Amino acid sequence: MSRVAMLLALTILGSAVLCAGQVTVAVAPIPNPLSITLDQTTQEAMITESTKTVVGFTGNITVQMVKGQRVTVTLIPSVDTGWASEVAPSEMLFTGNDPLPFSVNVTVPENQAAARVGMLSVEARCTEAGMEFTAQSSANITVRPYYRLMIESDEPYIEIAPGGTAHFTVKVWNVGNSVDTFDLGIVELERLAKDGWEVSLGSNELRAIPANDYRTVNITARSPQDQDTDVYKSESVAITLKATSRGASGRGETISQSFPVMVHITGASMQAVGLVFGEVAAVVIIIAVVAFTVFYRYRRMKRRKSILGKQESEAEKGQ
C-alpha cells in the first residue's frame, strides 16, 4: 500500500462522532507529497534591437513516498508575457525521496522594452491513489536596458558664398529600449576655429528622450572670409556632430555616433569673377594693340625703305 493510501485510511478513522443515530466522519486534509523549487528567483535578459536571448533556470523536485513506490511527475512551464519556454526533462520517474533536477529555458525576443518583466511559472503534477497533486514555483525575468542612437538630417549638404552662414537641423534618434540622454559636441572644433570657421550648437545635450523617439539640434557654421580679396577657391568642409549615450556611460559602456554635415564654399562671387575677367581682358587688348602698332610701324618702315631704294635705283639709271 502506498504512503498516500495509508494516510487516507488513517484520516478516515481519525474522528467519529455519534449524532442522531448516524456516524459523521471528519476527514483530515491529505498532505501534498510533491514539492518544487527554482534555484533562481530573478534574472536579467540581455537583448538588443536585433538579437534575442535565452535565459536559463534550474530547479529540483521532491516526492515524499514509501520505499518501493513509483511516481511519475509531469512538468509544465509557462511565461505570462507569452515568451517561449521549454523544460527538460518534461517527465520524471521517482522511485525514492531523493530530489531530481530539471532545467528551464526561456527565449526573450529582441526589441523588448527595458524593465519589462516576465513571470516564469513551472508546474509539477502527479497522480497517486486516484488523487492528483500539483506544486508550483515561479521566477521573474527582467529585460535589461540597451542603449543605441542614430543621427540623420533631411539636408546634410549646403552651399554658401565665402563668409556665408549655413544652418543645419539634425535629428538624433533614441533607438535603444530605454529613456536616454545624449551629450553632444562638434568633432575637432578647435581646428575649425583655427581655420577661421565659426561653428555653434543649439544645445550640448538632449535630455530624457523616450525609446524610438527623437529630438532635433541646430548647427550653425559661418565660413571664413578674407577682407583683402574677393577671390576664393571652391571647397567642401565637413562639420561632424558626435552624440554619446549618457545611459551607457553610466554603465561603463561607450555608445556614440558621429554624423558629418557638408558645407560647400562656392568660390568667388560672379561680381568678383566679372571684375577679374574684365581686368584680364583689358590687359590682353592693350597687349594686342601695342603688338599691332609695332608690327604696323615695322611693315610701314620696311615698305618705305623699299620705295626709297627703287627711287634711288631709277635716279642712278637716269644719270
**Is 187 part of any domain?**
yes
- The C-alpha atoms of residue 196 and residue 190 are separated, in whole angstroms, by 10
Q: What distance in Å separates the CA atoms of residue 255 and residue 243, rounded to the nearest whole number?
A: 9
| In-domain check, residue 302 | no
Helices (H) and strands (E) in the chain, counts: 4, 20
pLDDT of residue 137: 98
Residue 313 host element (H or E): helix 270-318
Average pLDDT for the chain: 84
Statement to judge: residues 133 and 192 lie in one domain: no
Inside any domain, residue 254: yes
Kindly state whether residues 237 and 153 are assigned to the same domain: yes
Cα separation, 11 vs 19, whole angstroms:
19
**Of the candidates 125, 143, 161, which is a domain's last residue?**
143
- Give domain status of residue 252, yes or no: yes
On whether both 120 and 162 belong to a single domain, the answer is no
Given 270, 286, 314, the domain boundary residue is: 270
- Taking the C-alpha atoms of residue 146 and residue 114, their distance in angstroms, rounded to an integer, is 8
Judgement on whether residues 195 and 226 belong to the same structural domain of the protein: yes
Answer yes or no: is 162 within a domain: yes
Summarize pLDDT for 10-66 with one digit per residue, the tens.
Answer: 444 444 443 444 555 555 677 899 999 999 999 999 999 999 999 999 999 999 987
Asked if residue 50 is part of any domain, the answer here is yes
Q: Do 57 and 166 have their domain in common?
A: no
The larger pLDDT score, comparing residue 17 to residue 208, is at: 208
Query: What's the rounded Cα separation, in Å, for the pair 155 and 169?
Result: 8
Whether 23 is in a domain gets the answer no
Question: Are β-strands 256-265 and 157-160 bridged in parallel, bridged antiparallel, or unpaired?
Answer: parallel
Is 290 inside a domain boundary?
no
Q: Could you tell me if 254 and 175 lie in one domain? A: yes
| Residue percentage of the chain with pLDDT more than 70 | 73
Shared domain for 257 and 159, answered yes or no, is: yes
Query: By mean pLDDT, which of 37-41, 213-217, 244-248, 288-292 is the weakest?
Result: 288-292
For residue 128, the model assigns a pLDDT of 80
Task: Specify the number of domains making up the chain.
Answer: 2
Q: Which domain holds residue 71?
A: 36-143
Q: Which residue has the cell 538630417?
A: 153
**Is the domain of 107 the same as that of 42?**
yes
- The pLDDT confidence band at residue 105, using thresholds 50, 70 and 90, is very high
What's the CATH number where 216 sits? Answer: 2.60.40.2310
Q: Are residues 49 and 112 in the same domain?
A: yes
**158 shares a domain with 138:** no
- Tell me which of 19-23, 55-59, 110-114, 150-154 is least confident: 19-23
Contacts (Cβ under 8 Å, ≥6 apart) of 273: none
Domain boundary among 270, 293, 313: 270
**Are 89 and 191 members of one domain?**
no
Claim to verify: residue 254 and residue 187 sit in the same structural domain: yes
- 281 C-beta neighbours (distance < 10 Å), count: 10
